[in-house]
Structure 1
Amino acid sequence: MTSICFITYEYPPQIGGEAAYTSGLASALNDMGNDITVITTTSGKSMDISKEGDIRVIRLPKSRVLPKMLSFSIDARKILENGAPGKIDIIHNTSDYNGIIIPGNKKKTPVIATIHHPYAEERRIYRASTSNIEYFKYAIHRKIDYLEYNSKLLCRKSDRLIAVSNYTAKSVTAEYGIQPDKLSIIPNAVDINRFNPDIDGTEIRKKLGIAAEKVILFVGRLDFQKGIEYLISAFSKIVKEFPEAKLIVVGDGPLKNNVRAAINESGLSKSVFLMGRTDTDDLPKIYAACDLFVVPSLMEGFGIVYLEAMASGKACIGANIGGVEDAIVDGHTGLLVPPADSDSIYCAIKKLLSDEDTLARFGKEGRKRVLENFTWKKVAAQTLEVYNKASGSV
């Protein structure tokens, strides 16, 4: 049995890719007989230590003085240095922006880090695509300097790295000077029981007043990176040919007001449903309620949402950039289009909504691909191999 301590800023009931990744991996490794501790955040004013199933969870309060991510990093490091979790064989950072968490490591405990997102690449794309003022606003709101610096620090100080996609691996080695033999590529995974084609989406459709109409679904943060504005533009053309089509948007973010304004300006207020952040229990039902999943990100380290959609038996449309290409197989589980191209998104959506057989085939092939490549059981086994390599090298 291996004693593993996960460090993550986000963990359920919080939602997001980092929370889903840590929870899924921790549960799978626990099922394999390993002892698991998770150090994460809480909205409370004091530290909380509890058992969630067989997993020990230490929740640290967020500072009212220091930036939240910084205060969590400092407090988590203190916990590790003071030995609060007890005997630990492996420290695994699943937040890829927590470089200062790594303790002095006097006990030579191997430190693993999962790198989800190429921040340097995100900065470059945004810088080339926006005005100076818009870039400045983005950099401040996103805290991109902090994220990029700490990701680089984490990569250099960790004993072994896990990249969730080929794209992320190439970015890390190129930008941070990381040797390829220090890094393993292990993809994200998804709960194949929680997300599956047998779930009924009728409840969600009734709640929104949708009957037999074709439904397109977007799940993601409403920011520049996810390309939501290009989907809205494409959808404004789709409704001219499919007047009853609906678009469900799940997520929140800095572009929420811009998205709402674009919807109103395009006369789509009766065709688009902004659901905001949704309860995690409802998410599988929302996937079940759609016919087609579309997230046209301008860049993506991987994108767990594509796996959730494919596991739910839904065809996907994404951009042929970054880690998306590790998830969607063009012409088999969905369609890949050029990034930032609303016309191509429109053509892809039109093609699939007009072809029921292809839509169904992509959904079946997507589910099959997830079962073969992206289960937590398989990913956990691959991760254990990384732990073993790290233990032998420290």
Structure 2
Amino acid sequence: MRICAITTWPPHRDGISFYSAQLYGQMSRRVEVRVLANIVDPRDLSCETPDAESYCSVIRCWRRGSVTYPFKIFNRVFLEKPDIVHLQHGWLLYGNGFSPLLFPLLLLILHLTRKPLIVTMHTVIGEKPRLYGNRVINFMAKVAVMLLTKSIVKLSTRIIVHNDLMKRTLREAYSLQRDDWKILVIPHGVKKVKRKTRKINGNENIRVLSLGFIRKWKGIEYLIEAFKIFSSSYPEAILVIAGGKHAHDDEEYVRRVKKKLLDEGVKNVVLTGFVNEETLDRLIWESEIIVLSSLASYYIEASGSLARIAMYGKPIICSRVPKFEADLEDGKDCIMVEMNDPKKLADALFILVNNVNLGRNLGRNLKKKFRDRVWSKVAEQHIKLFESLC
């Protein structure tokens, strides 16, 4: 079986490119995978590819933001003669501006290949979203999202989403009850744990870790405020923020975070930037608490950061937003807080520091919940689906 996978790909830095590298790296051990990837800027070549052994053939044939991307992709798919076409979909994956509007056109012309078209939708936008401050523009955006989402589902052979909440939202908010049969749930893959590198520190040097892209809807500024409250009682505590700018953003928010730290003289906060996989493993093991922050209440998706750390058995504090509510249970495998309330976030840090057994139980339950979602098993679910459609 030959699969044409359409996606962004490292060294392009977005969540879907890293997701794809892991998924297709696993799938390529069993089936032939041809990745039709975006053309990257040579300046991005310093980005490390996640450590997934891959036998994929990567063909860079389309450019983000180009109005010709549907035709470039179609031309290459036609030449490759695959058995299955698997497309990754994110709202800005193929570019800003008019690029999202062209995705249904891509699906339409790919029907000429007479091959099954499977689309993995990484983000479903919930009901009554506040996407723009201007009411007129926001209304127009909501209409566009509604029409685009429905057209993607209608034009696809199957739709893959990562959790039941995403499927339920498509069915109910987008009135896609008749297409419920074609919407399948395959969870986001999680990383297997590598060997623990060193003994965890004691409370005299508590390490709190935040990881992932630094974006304005992450609410990093609230995490910093919460850490200031927390460190007043634990002055030797360290907050490590691992990650950097998303490929689809400019540098403005990262600059704001750095300026806040400098202007307010916040101590013991380390911005690592992007780190390699070995270093990230070490940072996870060295942390006592992991904070996964988000202010994105309208976006229903899976968290790549959660998938990265779930198997380490660490207690996590996360935002009370759909991307975490879909997979986690407050008080059982995490502590959920309103991330825009630094006092509540600081209180959660105090709770975990003062109740070690609670933290251990949360980490143990989290690991147990995600143990059947390792990448090899997720890849196998994809292969079985694709084989059933050939």
> TM-score if structure 2 supplies the norm length?
0.79
Of 241, 244, 252, the residue aligned with 2:244 is: 252
* Residue correspondences, number: 356
Task: Report the AA paired with residue 112 of structure 2.
Answer: K
The DSSP-based 3-state class of the residue aligned with 2:313 is coil
Q: Which residue of 1 is the match for residue 375 of structure 2?
A: 376
Q: State the Cα deviation string for residues 91-139 of structure 1 (Å, max 9, x = none).
A: 1112334444323423320001111112456x81454xxx559x98x99
Say whether the 8 Å CA contact 2:2–2:82 is kept in structure 1.
yes
Tell me: CA distance 1:76–1:310, structure 2 relative to 1, closer, same or farther (3 Å): same
The letter of the residue matching 2:111 is N
Summarize deviations over 1:260-317 as a string: whole Å, max 9, x none.
233234431x221122233344322222232211122123511021122222222111
Alignment of 1:28-107 (within 5 A): 28-31=26-29, 33-43=30-40, 53-60=54-61, 62=63, 67=65, 70-80=67-77, 83-85=78-80, 87-97=81-91, 98-102=103-107, 103-107=109-113
What residue number does 2:100 align with? none
What 5-or-longer segments of structure 2 have no aligned partner? 43-52, 92-102, 246-251
Give 1:261's aligned residue.
259
Q: Give the aligned residue type for 1:101.
A: L
Whichever residue aligns with residue 298 of structure 1, its letter is L
Q: Deviation of residue 337 (structure 1)?
A: 1.9
Are the counterparts in 1 of residues 34 and 58 from structure 2 also a CA contact under 8 Å?
Answer: yes
- Paired with 2:60 and 2:203, the residues of 1 have a C-alpha distance of 43
Q: Distance in 1 between matches of 2:272 and 2:164?
A: 33
Of 225, 228, 232, which aligns to 2:224?
A: 232
* Equivalent residue, structure 2, for 1:173: 171
**Alpha carbon RMSD of aligned pairs, Å?**
3.4
Quote the residue 1:156 is aligned against: 154
- 8 Å contact 1:228–1:295 — kept in the other structure? no
| Letter in structure 2 aligned against 1:28 | Q
Q: Which residue, out of 121, 136, 143, partners 1:115?
A: 121
CA deviation after TM superposition for structure 1 residue 380, in Å: 2.2
8 Å contact 1:306–1:327 — kept in the other structure? no
1:218 corresponds to which residue?
Answer: 210
The one-letter amino acid paired with 2:284 is Y
Q: 1:314 to 1:160 in 2, by over 3 A?
A: same
- Amino-acid identity (%): 21
1:293/1:317 contact within 8 Å kept = yes
The SS at the match of 1:255 is helix
d(CA) in 2 for partners of 1:124, 1:144? 7
Gaps of 5+ in 1: 46-51
Alpha-carbon separation, structure 2, partners of 1:8 and 1:147: 20
> What is the distance in 1 between the residues matched to 2:337 and 2:88?
30
CA distance in 2, matches of 1:287, 1:148: 39
SS in 1 for 2:34: strand
**Counterpart selection for 2:289 from 288, 292, 295:** 292
CA drift at 1:147 = 8.0
Instruction: Give me the TM-score of the superposition, normalised by structure 1.
Output: 0.78
Deviation at 1:233, TM superposition (A): 2.0
The answer on 1:322 being equivalent to 2:322 is: yes
CA distance 1:217–1:146, shift in 2 (3 Å): farther
